[in-house]
Structure 1
Amino acid sequence: MYRVWHFVAEYSLLLIFGAVIALVWANIDIHSYHAFTEFVIWDHAPIGHLHDGHRTLTLHYLVNDVLMALFFAIAAKEVWEAVILKNGSLRGKKAATPLFATAGGMFGPIAVYLGLAAMLGSDTYSAVANGWAIPTATDIAFSYLVGRVVFGAGHPAVRFLLLLAIADDAAGLIILAVFYPSSELAPAWLLFSFAAAALVYLLFNWLPRLLDRGKQDRPNSTRIRKSLGGLPYVIAGCASWYGFMRSGLHPALGLLPIVPAIPHADRAFGIFSEVEKYLHDLLNVLEHALKHPVEIVLFLFGLMNAGVAFSAIGDATWLVLAGLIIGKPVGILLFGWLAAGPMGLGIPQGMRVVDLVVIGFVAAIGFTVSLFVASVAFDPGPVQDAAKMGALFSFAAAALAILAGRLTKIERWDD
């Protein structure tokens, strides 16, 4: 349990601290808050056309579009290892029911969000429809922590929840890339990003290993690692980010093509595993090096995005919240039951079908990614602020999960 608390303290407490400061600041002086977030760092910056059609680098853009690429790179690393490695958690039959439950945890919120929006009338629907992806998100750190509080560290439902959260992250990255471009699409620039990833992989990963074939001391790979470290991948990452920005896809996803190119271990133990810190492959070394920068980035992200006046609460607030606390549990229960029962895929030994309801409430904590999606789904203004408030209110799902756990008489499995 210590490692989980330690992880949340490192990655999430600063995020909450930044969000609380922003929320208080915005409700004391909203004008000075917006003046701070839109502070111009570099006018006429040579990085492409930004929000207002001019080459202006603001503090908000620096955090959301540039620095958050580090956060999504870490998420991509976990997803990549879960999918590609032989013992990856999202491979094989063991992942089938969690993957189906993940689908339900996305379709359910979308159906609730858009269905209720349609009931509120065409004007409301038109105003909020683009935010359909906001309630599909699951905050992996907070959800995992709450899951362990409700079920106990050793309960099979906790691992089920973690698989679901990782798969949700993967789907979220795809949704951001496909449905929320940052500007008019220019797909040719994606070739630049993937060419950078391919080049760095071939020259600094594949070729040294090819030359070292049959040599146990791996002289070429070792020499490149000692002399260059992660520098080639940092340069390739910058090039890939630029390609994403120019392509029209959200630049915060710009490091995704580089992650699979980095040398990695042939085993993965998961982001919350104590063993992870003893892996010294370059991918894990770079992840560890990003730990403290990402802590600061998440603090700044909370500070830049959570500053919403309580007067901004509106239809989008309740739609996001309903999508999360109604759509998530219903979708996860329905799809999980279909997979476990009629489809015959089963659920982990020691779990009950009713546990899927509790898992649904735990997964309804959207927070970080929900805030991010709200910031790209809507232009700055009342609808965006209302949607962000719904993401902030999703913390209420933790209390609902604890209540649901008691009502369904969950027996905790402690370490």
Structure 2
Amino acid sequence: MSGATQNRGVLRTLIDNSFLLIAGAVGALVWANIDQHSYEQLIHFDLLSLFGGGHEVAHEATGEGAEHAASHGLTLHFIVNDILMALFFAIAAKEVWESLLPGGALSNPRKAATPLLATVGGIAGPALVYIAGAYMTGTQVDLGKGWAIPCATDIAFSYLIARFIFGASHPAIAFLLLLAIADDAAGLMILAVFYPQAPIAPQWLLLTLGAMLGALVLRRMKVHTHWAYLIGPGIACWYSFFQANIHPALGLVPIIPLLPHAHTDLGIFAREELNRGDTLSEFEHFWKLPVEVVLGLFGLANAGVVMSSLGTGTWIVLAGLLIGKPVGITALTWFAEKVLKLEKPAGMDYRHVVTLGMVAGIGFTVALFVSVAAFTVPGAIQDSVKMGALLSFGAAPLSFLIAKVLGVRPQKMVDVDVPAEAQPA
């Protein structure tokens, strides 16, 4: 009995640390390199064709029409990327929103100022390296619009690696979490503004406003269950984004702040959050495990690229993540401290900042998503940047190497004042 309980504990730990995503991505890579045709047939098979409509393989369309074909077929790729991933971005939006509440990681501008500036460096550095790489290789026309791919930081994997390197209570963990939350917020805005699926149809945003008003009405009526908000305003908001040509995976984001929620934040990954029963927390508690399954499907539906896809896009994405990210984060942290006279958390020096910058170079999930949003037509270019997003997990061993060279060791306890609002459980 105890063995079964322990096995369930290990399994849940693996699931909670996004190992389903890794399994899906590895499975897709292996499948695509063994039999790419059958992989593509499954991922792009239009389920509507079973009922006499649709198209069998959506990605066979070419040119401008391919983007619209990919938007309308009820394929596994569309179901995962455009519908189910809305739940993933909704949970990300919850973390961003709660971080702005009293006690949240971003609620105190003075404490958050240095990590926020480091976030700017962690976005600008990779983007500049990517753009410079595209110009130097003469591929700016083909690859230029992928500049945001290396700007992403995978918060789950980065947090996991950082705990191994620094120890659970080191102030670098709090610094990373503040940076990653701000990075999530910036990523949501970048996706909405810079990667519409077609020219924006602004009239459909009136439906977005209507959905938000509907959520406010439910809140005024003291409706508690998150299902009412999800099935009513949530679906309407998703549909408005889809019709407006804003990426529908962001479709639940506008209603998240409108769900009844606690007035304080206990911190991302805090175990005490499990005891909260407000509607927003109920939403996260219910969907956390299903979203991990969604991430596994996301890996399966997007990571199936053949190894021959390695190309210029791969290397400039990796350069952005593995060079631009740590350089940008370190440079803006230095600027914040030396020029603006702001402070780093006590107990952190630039050995920790450089190491943390490399940890943040793990783009993986969001970088893979942006790869598909930036290059909507399947083919060699999309596959090459996808490969860069997948290989960004190489930042993990590099982080351990840098930590060893710089003498950074994990600490179980440190005698410093770690911001409680940012400290994980």
1:215 is aligned to: none
2:295 is aligned to: 298
C-alpha displacement of 1:234: 2.7
Partners of 1:313 and 1:386 within 8 A in 2: yes
Partners of 2:70 and 2:78 within 8 A in 1: no
C-alpha displacement of 1:53: 7.5
Change (3 A) 1:350 1:55: closer
Change (3 A) 1:277 1:295: same
Partners of 1:110 and 1:133 within 8 A in 2: yes
Partners of 1:98 and 1:164 within 8 A in 2: yes
Matches within 5 A, 1:100-249: 100-121=117-138, 124-201=139-216, 203-205=217-219, 207-208=220-221, 221=222, 224-225=223-224, 230-249=227-246
C-alpha displacement of 1:272: 1.2
1:375 is aligned to: 372
Partners of 1:242 and 1:254 within 8 A in 2: yes
TM superposition score normalised by structure 1: 0.90
Deviations, residues 84-119 of structure 1 (Å, cap 9, x unaligned):
x11110122111000000000010001111101111
1:82 is aligned to: 99
Deviations, residues 176-228 of structure 1 (Å, cap 9, x unaligned):
00000012210121121122112221x221x34xxxxxxxxxxxx3xx43xx5
2:86 is aligned to: 69
Partners of 1:8 and 1:142 within 8 A in 2: no
C-alpha displacement of 1:7: 5.7
Partners of 1:233 and 1:262 within 8 A in 2: no
Aligned residue among 343, 348, 351 for 2:348: 351
Deviates more, 1:230-239 or 1:130-139: 230-239
Deviates more, 1:404-413 or 1:16-25: 404-413
Deviations, residues 311-352 of structure 1 (Å, cap 9, x unaligned):
011000000000000000000000011112221111000011
1:213 is aligned to: none
1:398 is aligned to: 396
Aligned counterparts of 2:264 and 2:256: Cα–Cα separation in 1: 16
Q: Which amino acid aligns with 1:87?
A: G
Partners of 1:134 and 1:320 within 8 A in 2: yes
Corresponding position: 1:20 with 2:26: yes
Partners of 1:7 and 1:272 within 8 A in 2: no
Matches within 5 A, 1:255-334: 255-334=252-331
SS of corresponding position for 2:398: helix
Partners of 2:71 and 2:78 within 8 A in 1: no
Deviates more, 1:403-412 or 1:253-262: 403-412
Identity of aligned pairs, percent? 52
Q: Which runs of 4+ in 1 moved over 6 A?
A: none
Q: RMSD of the TM alignment (CA)?
A: 1.9
2:4 is aligned to: none
For structure 2, which runs of at least 5 residues remain unmatched after alignment? 1-8, 55-65, 414-425
Deviations, residues 229-276 of structure 1 (Å, cap 9, x unaligned):
532443110000000000110000000011011000112223311111
TM superposition score normalised by structure 2: 0.88
Corresponding position: 1:91 with 2:74: no
Q: Which amino acid aligns with 1:116?
A: G
SS of corresponding position for 1:258: helix
Partners of 1:151 and 1:158 within 8 A in 2: yes
Partners of 2:89 and 2:253 within 8 A in 1: yes
Partners of 2:351 and 2:408 within 8 A in 1: no
Aligned counterparts of 2:302 and 2:355: Cα–Cα separation in 1: 29
C-alpha displacement of 1:296: 1.5
Q: Which amino acid aligns with 1:89?
A: A
Aligned counterparts of 1:353 and 1:11: Cα–Cα separation in 2: 28
For structure 1, which runs of at least 5 residues remain unmatched after alignment? 209-220
SS of corresponding position for 1:369: helix
Partners of 1:69 and 1:251 within 8 A in 2: yes
C-alpha displacement of 1:6: 5.5
C-alpha displacement of 1:306: 0.3
Aligned counterparts of 1:301 and 1:364: Cα–Cα separation in 2: 20
Partners of 1:50 and 1:57 within 8 A in 2: no
1:217 is aligned to: none
SS of corresponding position for 2:265: coil
Deviates more, 1:111-120 or 1:49-58: 49-58
Aligned counterparts of 2:303 and 2:238: Cα–Cα separation in 1: 25
Aligned counterparts of 2:178 and 2:233: Cα–Cα separation in 1: 30
